[in-house]
């Protein structure tokens, strides 16, 4: 059964990104459709997959990670406006039966992502 998971690593502090709010959208043109909302746990992961089972469909998606709020809570002095407030990772699911893992490695001024396992 396919599923979509994520986790966040805070590369500035060398730890999991705990307490980061995120939203998953189906990217269906001009108006993205909100599918789910979650918050990362102490390990920087979500307790449940963002998508799984019948909800896992072929298509384009976006995960929006609220990283500005996270770094402010950690006491990081961000410029106004912050360089990174919300990181949006756009990706595609070609095989709904597969596991798609979308990690985010983030600092206040940079991020990277990849398809994990």
pLDDT tens digits, one per residue of 27-81: 987 889 999 999 999 999 999 999 999 999 999 999 999 999 999 999 999 999 9
> 3-107 adopts what CATH topology?
Immunoglobulin-like (2.60.40)
Question: What residues does 80 pair with on adjacent strands?
Answer: none
Closest CA to 26 of 50, 78, 62: 62
Sort residue 83 into left (φ over 0), alpha (ψ -120 to 50) or beta.
alpha
Structural contact between residues 65 and 24, judged by C-beta atoms closer than 8 angstroms = no
Full-model pTM: 0.96
Per-residue pLDDT at 22 exceeds 90: yes
* Res 117: pLDDT: 85
CB-based contact 8:101 (threshold 8 Å): no
- pLDDT the model gives residue 88: 98
């Amino acid at each position: 059964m396919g599923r979509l998971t994520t986790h966040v690593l805070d590369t500035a502090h060398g730890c999991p990104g705990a307490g980061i709010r995120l939203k998953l959208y189906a990217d269906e043109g001009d108006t993205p459709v909100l599918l789910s909302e979650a918050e990362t746990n102490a390990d920087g992961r979500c307790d449940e997959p963002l998508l799984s089972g019948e909800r896992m469909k072929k298509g384009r998606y976006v995960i929006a990670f609220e990283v500005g709020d996270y770094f402010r809570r950690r006491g990081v002095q961000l410029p106004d406006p912050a360089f990174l407030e919300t990181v949006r990772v756009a990706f595609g699911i070609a095989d709904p039966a597969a596991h798609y893992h979308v990690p985010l490695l983030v600092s206040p001024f940079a991020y990277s992502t990849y398809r994990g396992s």
